[in-house]
Amino acid sequence: MKNKKLNNFIRIFIALFFLQSVVWFVSAADQDPINLDFKVLEQAKQYLTSDGIDLKELPESIRSLNGKRVKITGYFLVPTEAYYADRPVTNFAVSKNAYGCPCCTWGDPPTIFNSVIVYMAKGENVRPVFTPLIEVAGTFAVKKEQFTDDSGHKQLNALYYIKDAKAQKKKQSFLKSFF
């Protein structure tokens, strides 16, 4: 009788261990961010209306990312004042192109299709860096925002966001910085 109870206990223990392992594996998979590439985000450009004011639609490759955890590496764009004030920021942009560095003006200007507005998680911040590449991970959101320009025409202002983000400097090999 004792042997039967022991065998049942072992079976229950193994079943619970297996169940816990499955739950851990599924939750760990949900937390791994999707690697996002600016090339995917730039696909939306082909859906601009003929007047360039709005988008007809967004590709499924972008819509499917809405609300998901993503990770993207890009150039750290902050207002010039933040560099000079040497203070941490909680909001900034990440772009495919390096542009707007206070010491130079090289690279193509960022567009709404190749830049992401980042809002850091509560209690997180990052200081402006002269290592320009930064890796950002957080929840991806797509939201079309428009503004009215000086001539009264609406223009697209922003499209992509990462919220509850954490960021870190991206280490770059010496050779990659030249190629």
User: How is the chain split into domains, by residue range?
Assistant: 1-32, 33-178
Task: Band the pLDDT of 30: cuts 50, 70, 90.
Answer: low
| Strand segments (E) across 65-126 | 69-77, 91-95, 115-120
Residue given tokens 């192109």 in the structure block: 97
What is the architecture, at CATH level 2, of domain 33-178?
Beta Barrel (2.40)
CA-to-CA distance for 72 and 65, rounded, in angstroms? 12
pTM: 0.71
Does pLDDT of 37 surpass 90? yes
Does pLDDT of 44 surpass 80? Answer: yes
pLDDT digits (tens, 9 = 90+) for 148-157: 888 888 888 8
Q: Which residue has the higher pLDDT, 127 or 150?
A: 150
Residues in a beta bridge with 133: 75
> What's the pLDDT score for residue 98?
73
Quick one: what percent of the chain has pLDDT higher than 70?
A: 67
Nearby residues of 83 by Cβ (< 8 Å), 6 or more positions away:
102, 128
**Interval 132-173: pLDDT, tens:** 788 999 999 999 888 888 888 888 888 999 999 998 877 655
Name the CA dihedral angle for 143, 144, 149, 152, rounded to a multiple of 10 degrees: -130
Q: Report how far residue 147's alpha carbon sits from residue 156's, in angstroms, rounded to the nearest whole number.
A: 7
